[in-house]
A and B are shown apart, each in its own frame.
Chain A
Amino acid sequence: MRGRFGAITIILTCAAVVPIVDLALPESLRISEAVRGVFLYAILALGLNVVSGYAGLLNLGIAAFMAIGAYAFAILTCEIYPFQVGFWPGILLTLPIGALAGFVLGAPTLRLRGDYLAIVTLGFGEIVQDLLKNLDTVTKGTQGINPLPSPSFGGEAWTASDEYKWYYLLLAVLVIVVLFVRNLERSRLGRAWFSIRQDELASRSMGIRVERVKMLAFSTGAAIAALAGGLSASVLSSTGEPSNYDFQVSILALCIVIVGGIGGIAGVLVGALVMVGLNSIVLVKAAAALAALGIGGQGNVLLSPNNWKYLIFGLALVLAVRLKPDGLLPPRIERSMR
């Protein structure tokens, strides 16, 4: 079995030199802050890829697990709650909490057929958002929980001006997640996932415990998504409002996986670069450029690049499924297993 280890290494190495190039550029052209968003979404999408890519279970509520991670991290670390466990324990605890949430949702629902499961996960995403909004004595409702602690290595805690430290921390976590899922997909469990995706009935006959294996995929994906949530809350020093984890986020993660190439790690990284790059680099810079030229703004709905977001996500999904069903950088593993 050969993955696309070369491609993965090249992408991650390029990511590592971005800040160095960035410092040489004028302020308006710098992108390293946006690239941090790419890392967070790449982690989220790698979680989704475990569920939807490896095990073939469409999850339309991955943002809910991100929200659970973010709020778990916030409640464990924020100074207004009694726990205050600090950054590192807080971030590490998002993993078991996310896995537990995945287990709670997955236990009763994983027997459902594919499209029903997709709708249940979508409903779960809406319910989590509503709960976070309505249980405002605990979650602070639409204000979100803040401030949240930053990491430190012995010395003083980082501030917002330490943006390159943040950058490399997120990159390091991304590398760890990539190594983790890469080992996972080559393990016995990973092969079981590929097998149930191809043919559930045949896998069952071969002795794979389908329910258990699906559950592990669901929980693993949820744990990784929760990690992404905890990190993003820490970067912003706030959970933000519950609608920051809405259906749009789940769909962006799905776009990343489908456009990049479902089931492959390199594909997901490329997908994150393309989709998040489009979302938070190209559209933002285009808006800034239009504003500098004095067009756009309030008058015409078509001239504000932000208003094209839904259209771009939608077209990306429709065209990807139609023209490149395997994505931009399809996984190689599958082929060698045929």
Chain B
Amino acid sequence: MQPHEVFLQQLITGLSNGMIIALIALGYTMVYGIIELINFAHGDVFMLGAFLALTLLGVLGMEAWSPTWRIGGVAIMLVGSALFCGGLNWTLDRVAYRSLRRASKLSLLVSAIGCSFICTNLGLFWGGVPMEVFAGGVAAAAPKDFPQLIPQTNLLGASAIRITPADIAVVVVTVPLMIGLVFLVNRTRMGRAMRAVAQDATAAALMGIPVDRVIGITFFIGGALGGFASVVYALYNNTIGFQMGYRAGMDAFTAAVVGGIGSLPGAVLGGLTIGLVRAMSDQYLETQWTNTIVFGMLVMILIFRPSGLLGTTRREKV
């Protein structure tokens, strides 16, 4: 491969992974925007979504399906994981966060960390389910292979640069979701209610907005986006594991902060940035330093530009 081809290839990989990170980052940024909570469990909700997708795949025997039917299979996994992750995220809010609305922000964060650990452990147990797709569940903690439902053949034929149907699938799933989300938040009644609660929950309640329900729906939507992302991630990377939520979550949270937490376009921009930085660092530095670079970026941005690329400065309330 020529140097410029290597660069282009990393660009494609980086953008595809970046789109997935962006989709997870939207879940962080929505929740942070509305109740100022770093929803630590979000990454693990994402991870459980991937486990549900693999379970559906196994139960329905999708590997034996014809290529056309497989597209339907992917749709089933997308809808299933989205509903599941949305519901799970809503449940976490209902059970572990709602009663702490009046408590300090740090207790809320501690509760979210607790939820994250519980979900991680559920993922470990899930990997031990004796099913063929989980390799019989013998080694519960081991990473699981996710079958290539979408072929990784090169659409550019014999070219050295590879664009696969999986790359296309990433775009086909993520872009409409992002557009839909922006429409929902900016153009619908529910979106207006969300923005009102984010700005001032008390005033919103006085105006007759059911604050807890709006927050719950925000959690549901954020979780559902994570569910979509989990299926795309699994199809794209072909391996899932119970500890992947922590890494993916940190990448996505970094993306949300880079873009300016609370801002939807910011989360997308941040996701693409992180995806590209990761791909380039993997290629031109050493893979082992990539995480250090991403975390270093997070620390630097929080110190020098806490409002991110597209965020607005908000003064801390007294």
Chain A residues with a Cβ under 8 A of chain B: 56, 58, 60, 108-109, 112-116, 118-120, 122-124, 126-127, 130-131, 133-134, 201, 247, 251, 254, 258, 298-302, 307-311, 313-319, 321-322, 325
Contacts and interface: CB of A to CB of B under 8 A. Distances in A.
Interface string B245-269: 0100010010001000000000000
A113 B113 CA distance: 18
B114 A109 contact: no
A302 B96 contact: no
B107 A325 contact: yes
Contacts of A310: 117-118, 120-121, 124
Contact of A309 (B103, B121, B253): B121
Interface string B88-106: 0000000010011001011
A314 B298 contact: no
B48 to A, nearest CB: 13
B155 interface: no
Contacts of B291: 126, 130
Taking residues whose C-beta sits less than 8 angstroms from the other chain, chain B's interface range is: 35 or more
A314 B118 contact: yes
Contact of A317 (B117, B128, B257, B289): B117
B33 interface: no
Contact of B138 (A201, A298, A315): A298
A313 B125 contact: no
14 contacts: A58-B106, A109-B303, A114-B106, A116-B302, A119-B298, A120-B299, A123-B295, A130-B292, A134-B289, A247-B246, A301-B125, A311-B121, A318-B118, A321-B107
A318 B111 CA distance: 5
B138 A251 contact: no
B128 A301 contact: yes
Contact of A301 (B38, B107, B111, B137): B137
A298 B140 CA distance: 9
Contacts of A201: 318
B127 interface: yes
Nearest to A311: B121
A258 B125 CA distance: 26
Q: Max chain B CB contacts within 10 Å: which of A133, A301, A302?
A: A301
A325 B38 CA distance: 19
Nearest to B304: A108
A134 B103 CA distance: 41
A322 B110 CA distance: 10
Contact of A302 (B116, B128, B299): B128
Contacts of A317: 110-111, 113-114, 117
Interface in B37-62: 37-38
A123 B299 contact: yes
A321 B128 contact: no
Given A309-B121, A317-B117, A318-B118, 14 more contacts: A56-B106, A58-B106, A114-B105, A115-B37, A127-B292, A251-B113, A254-B113, A299-B138, A302-B128, A314-B114, A315-B114, A315-B118, A317-B111, A317-B113
Contact of A322 (B99, B138, B246): B99
A307 B292 contact: no
A130 B288 contact: yes
Nearest to B297: A123
B28 to A, nearest CB: 11
